[in-house]
Amino acid sequence: MFDALMDARTIALDDSHGDVLLIVMRGEHDIYTAPALRDRLEEALGEAPTGVIVDLSGSTFLDSSILGALLDARRQAIERSIGYVVCLGEDPEPGVARILEITGLVPVFPVVRSRAEALEAARVAPADA
């Protein structure tokens, strides 16, 4: 019954950018995929990279379970002085942009649009703890 839904949701670790690791999320993500996202984020932070980017440009839906996972990872990144940034893409799904905007989380993560901006920001260690 749930196979078609599960096929549309992926969370992949992209290590092709040297010292910055990308978590690339596609499709709809909610409480069902939040544990897998937490695992991937932990895996990425555990590699002690310079920075971690969560790429939401292919995401079509996020809920507060996902925001919770992203915020927990941000806290861990700050503790370990690892750069952390959320990349929304140039043409994000309106609902994904909206949840980040109405919760005021755009400057918190921070959220940027382009992959190039994200790579640059992720190489800057977070200043506050």
**One of 14, 98, 116, 124 touching another protein (CB under 8 A):** 98
How far, CA to CA in Å, does 97 sit from each of 19, 42, 83, 110, 124?
A: 27, 24, 21, 13, 24
Contacting residue, 68, 78, 115, 123, with another protein by CB under 8 A: 68
3-state secondary structure of 25: strand
Distance CA 45, CA 54 (A): 12
Among 19, 26, 50, 63, binds another protein (CB under 8 A): 63
Q: Among 26, 32, 113, 115, indicate the residue that binds another protein (CB under 8 A).
A: 32
Is the separation of the CB atoms in 47 and 23 below 8 Å? no
Residue 17 or 68 having the CB closest to another protein: 68
Q: Are the CB atoms for 118 and 87 separated by under 8 Å?
A: yes
Is 64 a binder of another protein (CB under 8 A)?
A: yes
Inter-residue contact 20 to 122 (CB < 8 Å): yes
For position 104 contacting another protein by CB under 8 A, the verdict is: yes
Is residue 47 within the footprint of another protein (CB under 8 A)?
no
**Binding stretches for another protein (CB under 8 A):** 1-2, 5, 28, 30-32, 34-35, 38, 61, 63-65, 67-68, 71-72, 75, 94-95, 98-99, 102-105, 108
